[in-house]
Amino acid sequence: MLLKGEDRIATRKVVVIGAGGHAKVIIDILLADPSIEIAGCTSRQQNRMCAGVPVLGDDSILPELYYQGVRHAFIAIGDNRMRYKLSLQTAAIGFQPVNAVSPRAYVAQSASLGAGIAVMPGAVINAEASIMDYAIINTNASVDHECEIGRFCHIAPGSALSGNVKVGEGSFLGTGTSVIDGISIGSWTTVGAGSTVVRPLPSDCVAYGVPAKVIRQTPKP
């Protein structure tokens, strides 16, 4: 029976897929969410624990976990292409993605957040920005007003995106990347750490430098 003034919080059992450094940050964020109970992690490594959470086995145990009543998953893998593949696998089993949004991040009320996203401590997501499914806004990254961050993107620590920037699906902006106002970056493009993007970048390429220039094209995922 609840005491007067208490609210019952429905908890969701979540399996964290991955047990590396990225997963440790995700676990720290999820542990701060009273609506989430972490069932454990999966990993191909032989770790027994990850940030105090048990490693239950590799990804082959996911169907069994779902059968046991774990209905939600978070894919704690920083690599965009691997996160994309795992999103298809977990969806096929039936898992629903959850978000990991740090209480020490700032997210504007008018911002739009997809599913399965990570927003790390110190990150800022400003007015009317859109963060789509399975994207990562990493530590101290800044996404300004009306930016659009596509599915499976990774905006690495310390990156700064001015307003109205559009980043296509699966693109990776390395640590400390700066992007000026109104720039578009294509899908599945990698921008090297410390780069400054002052002109639009196409899809499926690697670019870096100040200003950032396309170095080579890359195959589609």
> Considering the chain, what is the average pLDDT of its residues?
94
pLDDT at 15 over 80: yes
Indicate whether 58 and 46 sit together in one domain.
yes
Bridge partners of residue 124, in order along the sequence: 106, 142
Kindly state the average pLDDT of the residues 204-212: 97
Structure confidence at residue 8 as a pLDDT band (50, 70, 90) = low
User: DSSP 3-state assignment of 205?
Assistant: strand
Kindly state the average pLDDT of the residues 130-143: 98
Q: How many residues are there in the chain?
A: 221
Compute, in degrees rounded to 10, the torsion defined by CA atoms 106, 108, 109, 115. -70
pLDDT at 7 over 60: no
pLDDT tens digit sequence for 185-196? 999 999 999 999
Indicate whether 89 and 110 sit together in one domain.
no
| Cis peptide preceding 211, ω within 30 of 0 | yes
The pLDDT > 70 percentage for the chain reads 95
What integer pLDDT is reported at residue 46 of this predicted model? Answer: 74
Q: Is 137 exposed, middle or buried (0-12, 13-18, 19+ CB in 10 A)?
A: buried
Say which amino acid occupies 215. Answer: I
Indicate whether 76 and 126 sit together in one domain.
no
What integer pLDDT is reported at residue 9 of this predicted model? Answer: 63
pLDDT tens digit sequence for 146-164? 999 999 999 999 999 999 9
Distance CA 165, CA 25 (A): 26
Residue 133 to residues 34, 39, 41, 49, 68, Cα–Cα distance (Å): 22, 22, 21, 28, 26
pLDDT at 100 over 80: yes
pLDDT at 54 over 90: yes
Structure confidence at residue 134 as a pLDDT band (50, 70, 90) = very high
Do the annotations mark residue 78 as ligand-binding? yes
Distance CA 151, CA 91 (A): 15
Contacts of 89 (CB under 8 A, 6+ apart): 59, 62
What integer pLDDT is reported at residue 176 of this predicted model? Answer: 98
Q: Which of 145, 174, 188, 212 is catalytic?
A: 145
Question: Residue 146's domain is classified under what CATH number?
Answer: 2.160.10.10
Q: Which domain holds residue 21?
A: 12-98
145 given a catalytic annotation: yes
Kindly state the average pLDDT of the residues 27-38: 96
Indicate whether 180 and 85 sit together in one domain.
no
Helix (H) or strand (E) holding 93: helix 80-93
Structure confidence at residue 1 as a pLDDT band (50, 70, 90) = very low
Residue 183 lies in a domain: yes
Question: Residue 24's domain is classified under what CATH number?
Answer: 3.40.50.20
Among 73, 98, 123, which residue terminates a domain? 98
Residue 108 lies in a domain: yes
Phi-psi region of 52 (alpha: psi -120 to 50; beta: other; left: phi over 0): left
Structure confidence at residue 219 as a pLDDT band (50, 70, 90) = confident
